[in-house]
Amino acid sequence: MKFHRVYYKEFNQTDKISIDNKSKINHLKKVLRLSEGSQVDVFDGKGNSSICKIVSLEKKEIVLEPIGDTEFQQPERINLKVLIPYIKKENLFFAVQKVTEIGVSNISLFRPDNIDQSIKKKDLSKINEKALSTIIHACEQNGSNIVPDFQIYENLSSAIEHDSFRIFFDLDATNNFQSIKSIEDNITLITGPESGFSKREKELLNARTSHNISLGKNILRAETAPITALSVIKSNLGLL
């Protein structure tokens, strides 16, 4: 039987699961039409989950009680990090949602040199909050008990400072994924913004990146590129 899924970060640290988030309460009560006695699948984003029963459903709080054994989902054998530039808001949220659905260990955002004018002067903290919320909702939908780590960076240089095995996707590249002879356990996939990487960023990537790869002859939109890149990599690694 399939249960509605609920993310609760402290699930494995307490016996009482109390939800006081207004939007989540509204979703459970008015959208899903759940009531006292209904069962849901609660997960903590770190791999743990359990079936829980709603024991109290009030206007400002929902209380759940675990009724099943705690199960643990093993992470994938290869850590995949997707490094995405800030692009137009709705396009960014779409990309974040889809790479989460496909399955990734880490989603990181960086401020590109060629940032879109529509968000250049905006408060990015609100975009970050919405992106994280999108990641959590996507995990509630796709069945994964592991929420990808989420990080933000001021620029591309700081974003790749500690990564070792990096693949960036470039229109000028001539190699495809099959040209890579060996794969490490931690892989960072890097895609560019609507206007492409700047000259400075291209020089940085060529100097500090393991491989530059083509995604084919067609020019992909900035929000489509990370989805395609992740799909290609996971398919070739047998992770889909």
Q: What pLDDT is stored for residue 13 in this prediction? A: 64
What is the four-CA torsion angle of 45, 48, 50, 55, rounded to 10 degrees?
Answer: -50
* Spatial separation of the C-alpha atoms in residues 53 and 99, rounded to whole Å: 31
Q: What is the residue-averaged pLDDT of the chain?
A: 89
Contact criterion met (CB below 8 Å) for 76 and 239: yes
Kindly report, residue by residue over 74-101, the tens digit of the pLDDT: 988 889 999 999 999 999 999 999 999 9
Reduced to 3 DSSP states, what percent helix, strand and coil does the chain have, rounded to the nearest 5?
Answer: 30, 25, 40
- With 90 as the cut, is the pLDDT of residue 227 above it? yes
Structure-token pair, residue 198: 């700047």
Kindly report, residue by residue over 127-147, the tens digit of the pLDDT: 999 999 999 999 999 999 999
- With 70 as the cut, is the pLDDT of residue 14 above it? no
Q: What is the DSSP string of 82-127?
A: EEEE---HHHHHHHHHHHHHH--SEEEEE--TT--TTTTTS-HHHH
CA dihedral (207, 76, 94, 162) positive or negative = negative
Kindly report, residue by residue over 146-182, the tens digit of the pLDDT: 999 999 999 999 999 887 788 888 877 778 777 777 7
pTM: 0.89
- With 70 as the cut, is the pLDDT of residue 1 above it? no
Kindly report, residue by residue over 35-44, the tens digit of the pLDDT: 899 999 999 9
Contact criterion met (CB below 8 Å) for 128 and 135: no
**Could you give the 3-state DSSP secondary structure of residue 236?**
helix
Q: Which residues contact 188 (CB under 8 A, 6 or more apart)?
A: 81, 82, 83, 160, 163, 165, 166, 167
